[in-house]
Chains A and B, each alone.
Chain A
Amino acid sequence: MQNTDCTFICEQFTEYHENSLSSEIRAQVDTHLASCPACTEIFHKLAEVIDTLHNLPTLKASTDFTSTLLSRIETLKQETVWQKIYQSSYTRVAGYAIAAGLIVAIGINIMIDPISPMKSGLQSNFAGEQVNPNQSDESLVEVSDSSANQPADSLTLQNPTINSQSQSMQLVSGKK
């Protein structure tokens, strides 16, 4: 391009090619092109490019395009149904109810289970029996002390087969 006239003329090329310029500007472009080989060459090349673009072959989608799309959509519909079920309020309420039921069941199980955690103040011995830790130490001492004055048969009661708290208390008091 040689000057500002050329810049202005080139800006009109698209509409000039499409024949949509006003008659006044069209005449201006005609006059300029008649005297400017550079702009004329640009315009001719531009017209060639436009024709080539307009005649590019039309591509087509593959023959299974629609069936592939529709099967994708079918999958989407199925997913959507499951999502609706999952998101429905009934499902959520049912989920909460099941969760609450499980918590209650676990709680009850803990309360009635024989291998439950220690209750306060009581411990299980190796046989699974509950003994009072504070009292047992004392009672053993007292049983030891008292054993010196007791007949031989009472000593048999000192063996570790003590099987209840009441028996332990009897030993402390020295009664059978």
Chain B
Amino acid sequence: MSEKPLKTDEQLIADFQNGNENAFVELVDRYKDRLVNFVYRFLHDMTDAEDMVQETFFKVYKNKHAYREIAKFSTWIYTIAGNLARSELRKRKRRKTYTMSDLSFDDNEFTPVDTGKDTEGIVFNSYAGEEIMKAIYALPEPFKTIIILRDIQELSYEDISTILDIPMGTVKSRVNRARLKLQETLSYLKE
């Protein structure tokens, strides 16, 4: 006997809009890790990242009828989470101007967890990971967002285009420039 096929995100949000709260919990389970992973790359603080993701789901709950099925649910929720994360970053910048030397990373906050990939193929090591996180954090805002969406969240160009509301061609060129900038920053950090 075959298992019941999983509902799509769009079917779940439709169920939730019709009053099925279990559909909301299912969406939370599907997206909580992805969003924590996403927001953490902006904020570099696990507690803040979880708070922002909680806030994201809270907004989804309160504004469930704001979602229209003209966009994918994933792009909608990434947009909300991204806006909250960037807003938090702006607040932080107003409070304090960070320099590269200010950035420190708590090892406990960056414990590798279930990459879902074969460990033999992983280039990542803690040194490279820390360096790359510093470099991402130091990137100018448009590059930072696009690198996180494309290279960490591995979203399609089409989804990124929808989330950032910019043409696909612009997304591609920004990804390229962001990667070059990141590579330059990493070279600078290693010197």
A interface residues (Cβ-Cβ under 8 A, vs B): 10-15, 42, 45-46, 48-62, 65-66, 68-70, 72-73, 76
Contacts and interface: CB of A to CB of B under 8 A. Distances in A.
Contacts of A46: 179-180, 183
A111 B179 CA distance: 84
Interface in B54-91: 54, 57-58, 61-62
A50 B132 CA distance: 10
Given A52-B123, A66-B32, A69-B54, A57 B183 contact: no
18 contacts: A15-B172, A42-B180, A49-B179, A49-B183, A50-B179, A51-B123, A52-B124, A53-B152, A57-B110, A57-B112, A58-B116, A59-B110, A60-B114, A66-B32, A68-B54, A69-B54, A73-B58, A76-B61
A146 B116 CA distance: 119
Interface stretch (B2-10, B33-41, B95-103): B33-41
B94 interface: no
B19 interface: no
Nearest to B28: A66
Nearest to B53: A61
A69 B128 contact: no
Most B Cβ at <10 Å: residue of A11, A42, A58 = A58
A13 B183 CA distance: 12
A42 B184 CA distance: 9
Interface residues of B, number: 47
A48 B58 contact: no
Nearest to A54: B151
B182 interface: yes
Contacts of A52: 123-124, 128-129, 132
B176 interface: yes
A97 B179 CA distance: 68
A52 B183 CA distance: 11
B159 interface: no
B46 interface: yes
Nearest to A62: B50
Given A45-B183, A58-B114, A69 B58 contact: yes
A52 B132 CA distance: 8
A55 B50 contact: no
A59 B176 contact: no
A56 B182 contact: no
Interface string B153-191: 010000000000000000011011001101100110000
Contacts of B111: 57
A89 B181 CA distance: 60
A61 B50 contact: yes
Contact of A56 (B58, B152, B179): B152
Contacts of B40: 59
Given A57-B110, A65-B53, A66-B28, 20 more contacts: A13-B180, A14-B179, A15-B176, A49-B179, A49-B186, A52-B128, A53-B152, A54-B151, A54-B154, A55-B123, A57-B124, A58-B37, A58-B116, A61-B35, A61-B53, A65-B36, A65-B50, A66-B32, A68-B54, A72-B54
Contacts of B175: 14
Contact of A53 (B28, B53, B116, B147): B147
B107 interface: no
Contacts of B124: 52, 55-57
B105 to A, nearest CB: 13
